[in-house]
Amino acid sequence: MKPISLAVAVLVVVSLCSFQAQGDNELITKACSRTVYNDLCKAILQAAPNSKDADLYGLTKTALSIAAQNVSNIYQTIDKLQNDSSVDTFMDECLTDCLENYQDATDQIEDSVTALEFKAFNDVRTWVAAAMSDVATCDLGFKDKPGYQSPVHQMSAVFDQICSIVLTFNHCLIEGNVYLTS
């Protein structure tokens, strides 16, 4: 890459990722506009009381917290489904695998929270991506037999979207490390 092209690329990334705490919802709106899931991003962050005056680091932390709650809720749903006596053998096996996948995803999101606290942004990216992979593996297990689909597929899709939001914010933190709270 030519030096001028590199300079332009750096300026674009910095301008996309340089958010200032600009009052209640302005930062949320600006940060969420950088994500693929803008509407979901704004809805979850505007509903979270601790995101109102947060900087980008704080928004990332809040989004990770929401992802942690979301993955925990899905785990509990799978656990309840598995305890249903009408579940056939194949479904039971898939749900057992899913419980393991979601436990791993829960652990990886917790590891992401810890990594974020230490500003280990590359580790955040690694752990969040691993959690997304575990969730996708759960959904894929149901496709081994025709006529089956994960009963938590829609919930998994929302988890994936929240993780995508986290990864977008985290990318901005990696590229700029701008306006972090200590």
Give tens-digit pLDDT for 74-115.
999 999 999 998 999 999 999 999 999 999 999 999 999 999
Report the candidate in 6, 59, 54 with the shortest Cα–Cα distance to residue 34. 59
Averaged pLDDT for residues 170-182: 66
**pLDDT for residue 148:** 94
* Token couple for 69: 């709650």
Q: Say what the pTM is.
A: 0.84
**pLDDT for residue 4:** 32
**pLDDT for residue 93:** 97
The pLDDT confidence band at residue 52, using thresholds 50, 70 and 90, is confident
Is the pLDDT score of 11 beyond 80? no
The pLDDT confidence band at residue 123, using thresholds 50, 70 and 90, is very high
Averaged pLDDT for residues 30-56: 95
Report the candidate in 166, 70, 63, 59 with the shortest Cα–Cα distance to residue 121. 166
The pLDDT confidence band at residue 182, using thresholds 50, 70 and 90, is very low
Is the pLDDT score of 24 beyond 70? no
Give CA–CA dist 181/21, Å, rounded.
11
Give CA–CA dist 168/50, Å, rounded.
19
